[in-house]
């Protein structure tokens, strides 16, 4: 990697184009499943009507249908498994947020992926990013990481969220001089630290 060459901006011209993704959203109140082709991502365990209303602003299409008992049971089990994994990850994140913020900031600087005038302020920015993740709605999380879904196979959601923050938002902070390296290099740097604290994905 050429450490002296700044990474290109991640603007619309560099955005990754994704094919439509088939998504099943469980509406527990009606015991139905909404079959959607949203602009990005998958959202489970959300209020279906609110989700579709928000997605419809972007031209998403959806139709209502009733699955058979086996289909509904499979979708519900997947929903519960995802929620259990997410809850465990967030529990560990709350426990280790301070340490993780320090490790990520330190490694980004050591590997010369972020040039900053203040390591402390960089750590505070990472900490703020993690705090926002803990309180964000799933829809907003998926929107944040939409351009980076294909970065690696089965990405760690916490690592992916931090990576998206570093690439798209951190550059705007006053203490950040520049950001270097590829998206993949930034993700792997972040993920190596996240896995030390949240090794469940």
6-15 pLDDT, tens per residue? 555 444 444 4
Residue with tokens 């998958």: 42
Q: Where are the domains of the chain?
A: 12-197
Check residues 66 and 146 and name the one with the higher pLDDT: 146
Residues 6+ apart with CB under 8 A from 181: 1, 7, 111, 112, 113, 189
For 44-53, 105-114, 129-138, 170-179, which range has the lowest pLDDT when averaged over its residues?
44-53
Higher pLDDT, 54 or 106: 106
pLDDT tens-digit map of 163-199: 999 999 999 999 999 999 999 999 999 999 999 999 8
Query: What does the DSSP 8-state code read for residue 81?
Result: H
Q: Would you state the pLDDT for residue 189? A: 98
Q: What is the mean pLDDT of residues 44-62?
A: 48
Give the residue among 45, 113, 87 at the shortest CA–CA distance from 198.
Answer: 87
Q: Is the pLDDT of residue 41 over 90?
A: no
pLDDT confidence tier of residue 200, bands split at 50, 70 and 90: confident
**Which 3 state secondary structure label does DSSP give 83?**
helix
Stated pTM of the model: 0.63
pLDDT at 138: 87
Name the pLDDT band for 57 (thresholds 50, 70, 90).
Answer: low
Strands (E), 49-144: 61-65, 114-116
Over 90: is that where the pLDDT of 19 sits? no
Residue 194 pLDDT: 96
Alpha helices in the chain (DSSP H): 48-56, 69-110, 119-135, 138-145, 157-168, 183-197
Whether residue 39 is predicted with pLDDT greater than 50 in this model: the reply is no
């Amino acid at each position: 990697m050429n450490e002296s060459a700044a990474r290109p901006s991640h603007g619309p011209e560099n955005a990754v184009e994704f094919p439509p993704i088939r998504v099943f959203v469980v509406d527990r109140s009606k015991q139905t499943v909404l079959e959607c082709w949203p602009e990005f991502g998958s959202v489970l365990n959300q209020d279906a009507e609110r989700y579709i209303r928000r997605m419809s602003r972007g031209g998403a299409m959806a139709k209502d249908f009733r699955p058979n008992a086996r289909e509904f049971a499979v979708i519900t089990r997947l929903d519960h498994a995802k929620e259990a994994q997410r809850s465990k990850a967030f529990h560990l994140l709350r426990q280790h947020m301070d340490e993780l913020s320090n490790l990520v900031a330190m490694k980004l600087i050591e590997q010369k992926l972020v040039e900053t005038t203040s390591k402390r302020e960089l750590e505070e920015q990472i900490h703020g990013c993690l705090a926002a993740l803990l309180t964000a709605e799933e829809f907003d999380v998926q929107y944040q990481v939409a351009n980076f879904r294909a970065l690696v196979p089965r990405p760690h959601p916490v690592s992916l969220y931090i990576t998206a923050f570093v690439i798209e938002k951190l550059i705007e902070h006053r203490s950040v001089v520049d950001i270097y390296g590829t998206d993949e290099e930034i993700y792997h740097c972040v993920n190596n630290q996240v896995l030390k604290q949240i090794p469940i994905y």
